[in-house]
């Protein structure tokens, strides 16, 4: 009996949260397309999400590319297929590692800071203050961040792809003794628009996930500093899990048979 | 009593959070250009009362009328029109951290497109002067202001759009007694200047005596006593007597759980 009660409660909580999240997302997106717009805030968020994430995304990408080259080399050399290193590196980066690693890193950075910022605004009544000052908080706080996320994540991932391929190139050429021009040729000839575009679509979805989780958990935080802390943790954890889950779903959609 | 209908009329207001009943059949009238102060202990639901009037919380039951218009269950668009008549000073000032003082002050005006950004700064400086702050404050961020200055900037923001009704949520809490008195004086001066109706909530009796025409006491989810400020010492109500003299002994039992 206890067990049934517990299962029931878990299921109800899950359904309730999903429903609330869906309503929140719907409201957020509907405000993205209805005036007034806040270009000033959108630009500031784009700079925050895009420009200031460059170091962390760049470093992640370059090491990912480097380690990919090293690992595929050890793998492929066992059956003397070393020439496939360039192909595997670029494929792995554009399809998977670029979007997923960049998404996870930015989830930590942006998901946390959005949840903390909006959560603090909630517990210090700043969100209530917005309402009393003729401003819809969903429109003013959530919509600009969703837009910035959707736009900037693909940009970041494109940059991550390029830097990652460069990392692989450096290791392949300077450490493993590949011929530089052949490596570039191999990369260039092998990669297809589909690989890159699927990665960018994933990035856009991850952008929604990260900003939505940050905003949602911040918006619904309660109970002072501790509540904001919990919101921050929940935002990052849920964003990371959703990124991995949606990565699978999207891969299945793009490449599944 | 006066012939004009009250600015705010609340009847049988109920609000509970889960099993916890906060407002339990509250009635209150606030007349035009009157300054009513609701007193009551911490956690008795004073903030919940104001947030219900503003539509930030949805009451479970009961009626709230502003200028004779029922505001409970209003559509968001109409609600916004009502809120344009209203200014609110939040308990913790609730200034926007990311904006300098001048943008905080003129936020509502800018949102309603009543002024341009170019005009807004001058207006903000004028409003800041009204609450006794120099022009230099305009460019400071909330984090750079002391508690008293934050309250004053928040006060300037609350009055910037010339509201007909102003709510003050514990305007003096967290301030030293002198700054508290400065804020009290400002509230009296400003509500008189703009001719606004004021509804304040506080547990600070000195503040209540200073800003109120009429005082109402909230206890156990209801207004248990209301009367002119001058009459509060002779209310004949043991709850009011206990509260205004700050006694631990009396009919009000603090909910101290073991
Ligand atoms: N959003 C909320 N959710 C749950 N409980 C709340 C909420 N807001 C207020 N309460 C509860 O209502 C009671 C009254 O709160 P409040 O109106 O803030 O008191 P005060 O009179 O000190 O302003 C408190 O016990 C508080 O815990
Ligand atoms: Mg309060």
Of the ranges A80-84, A85-89, A144-148, which one carries the lowest mean pLDDT score?
A: A80-84
pLDDT at B37: 96
Q: Is A194 on the interface with B (CB under 8 A)?
A: no
Contacts 24+ apart (CB under 8 A), B184-187: B184/B210, B184/B211, B185/B210, B186/B131, B186/B132, B186/B152, B186/B155, B187/B155, B187/B211
**B95/A126 touch (CB, cutoff 8 Å), yes or no:** yes
Per-residue pLDDT, averaged over A60-72, amounts to: 96
Q: What is the pTM of this model?
A: 0.91
Looking at beta carbons, which residues of chain B come within 8 Å of A135?
Answer: 107-108, 111
pLDDT band with cut points at 50, 70 and 90 for residue B82: very high
Whether the predicted pLDDT of B20 surpasses 80: yes
Query: For B106-120, what is each residue's pLDDT tens digit?
Result: 999 999 889 999 999
Query: For B223-252, what is each residue's pLDDT tens digit?
Result: 999 999 999 998 889 999 999 998 888 888
Query: For A2-24, what is each residue's pLDDT tens digit?
Result: 899 999 999 999 999 899 999 99
Q: What is the 3-state secondary structure (H, E, C) of B159-191?
A: HCCCCCEEEEECCCCCCCHHHHHHHHHHHHHHH
CA distance B41 to chain A (A): 20
Whether the predicted pLDDT of B73 surpasses 90: no
pLDDT band with cut points at 50, 70 and 90 for residue A187: very high
Q: Does ligand 1 lie within 6 Å of residue B221's CB atom?
A: no
Residue partners of B109: CB distance under 8 A and separation at least 6? B115, B120, B123, B160, B161
Query: So where are chain B's domains?
Result: 1-85+164-171+196-258, 90-162
Question: Which pair of tokens denotes residue A232?
Answer: 């921050």
Per-residue pLDDT, averaged over B110-132, amounts to: 92
Q: Is B51 on the interface with A (CB under 8 A)?
A: yes
pLDDT at B3: 62
Pocket test for ligand 1, best of B14, B45, B254 (most atoms within 8 A of CB): B45
pLDDT band with cut points at 50, 70 and 90 for residue B256: low
Check: complex ipTM more than 0.85: yes
Angle, in degrees to the nearest 10, between helices A143-170 and A180-190 = 140
The residue whose C-alpha atom lies closest to atom 2 belonging to ligand 1 is B17
What does the mean pLDDT of chain A come to?
Answer: 94
pLDDT at B174: 85
Domain B1-85+164-171+196-258: CATH architecture, name and number where available:
3-Layer(aba) Sandwich (3.40)
Query: For A117-151, what is each residue's pLDDT tens digit?
Result: 999 999 999 999 999 999 999 999 999 999 999 99
Interface with chain B: mutation pick from A133, A136, A218, A225, highest number of B CBs within 10 Å: A133
Residue in chain B lying closest to A122 (CA): B94
Whether the predicted pLDDT of B1 surpasses 70: no
Q: What are the beta bridge partners of residue B39?
A: B202, B217
């Amino acid at each position: 009996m206890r067990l049934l009660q517990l299962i029931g409660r878990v299921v109800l909580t899950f359904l309730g949260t999903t429903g609330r999240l869906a309503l929140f997302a719907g409201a957020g997106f509907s405000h993205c397309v209805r005036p007034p717009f806040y270009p000033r805030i959108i630009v500031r968020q784009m700079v925050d999400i895009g420009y200031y994430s460059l170091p962390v995304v760049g470093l992640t990408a370059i090491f990912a590319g480097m380690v990919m080259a090293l690992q595929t080399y050890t793998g492929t050399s066992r059956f003397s297929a070393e020439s496939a290193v360039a192909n595997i590196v670029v494929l792995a980066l554009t399809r998977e590692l670029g979007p997923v690693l960049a998404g996870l890193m930015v989830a930590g950075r942006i998901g946390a800071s959005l949840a903390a910022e909006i959560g603090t605004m909630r517990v210090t009544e700043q969100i209530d203050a917005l309402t009393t000052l003729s401003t819809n908080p969903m429109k003013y706080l959530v919509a600009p961040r969703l837009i910035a996320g959707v736009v900037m994540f693909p940009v970041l991932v494109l940059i991550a792809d390029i830097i990652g391929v460069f990392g692989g190139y450096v290791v392949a050429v300077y450490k493993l003794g590949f011929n530089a021009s052949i490596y570039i040729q191999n990369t260039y000839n092998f990669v297809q628009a589909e690989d890159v575009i699927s990665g960018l679509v994933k990035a856009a979805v991850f952008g929604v996930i990260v900003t939505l989780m940050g905003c949602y958990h911040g918006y619904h935080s309660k109970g002072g500093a501790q509540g904001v802390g919990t919101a921050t943790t929940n935002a990052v954890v849920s964003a990371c899990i959703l990124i991995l889950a949606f990565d699978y779903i999207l891969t299945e959609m793009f490449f599944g048979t | 009593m006066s012939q004009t209908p009250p600015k705010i009329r609340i009847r049988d207001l109920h609000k509970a959070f889960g099993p916890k009943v906060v407002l339990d059949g509250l009635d209150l009238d606030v007349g035009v250009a009157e300054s009513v102060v609701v007193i009551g202990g911490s956690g008795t639901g004073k903030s919940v009362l104001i947030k219900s009037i503003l539509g930030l919380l949805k009451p479970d039951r009961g009626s709230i009328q502003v200028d004779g218009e029922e505001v409970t269950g209003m559509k968001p668009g109409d609600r916004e029109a009502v809120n344009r008549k209203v200014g609110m000073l939040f308990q913790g000032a609730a200034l926007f951290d990311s904006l300098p003082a001048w943008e905080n002050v003129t936020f509502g005006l800018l949102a309603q497109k009543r002024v341009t950004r170019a005009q807004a700064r001058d207006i903000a400086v004028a409003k800041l002067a009204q609450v006794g702050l120099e022009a230099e404050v305009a460019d400071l961020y909330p984090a750079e202001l002391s508690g008293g200055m934050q309250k004053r900037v928040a006060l300037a923001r609350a009055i910037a759009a010339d509201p007909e009704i102003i709510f003050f949520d514990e305007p003096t809490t967290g301030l030293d007694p002198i700054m508290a008195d400065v804020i009290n004086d400002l509230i009296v001066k400003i509500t008189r200047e703009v001719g606004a109706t004021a509804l304040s909530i506080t547990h600070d009796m000195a503040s209540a005596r200073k800003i109120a025409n009429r005082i109402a006491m909230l206890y156990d989810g209801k207004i248990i006593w209301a009367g002119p400020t001058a009459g509060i010492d002779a209310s004949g109500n043991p709850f009011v007597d206990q509260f205004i003299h700050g006694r631990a002994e009396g009919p009000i039992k603090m909910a101290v759980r073991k």
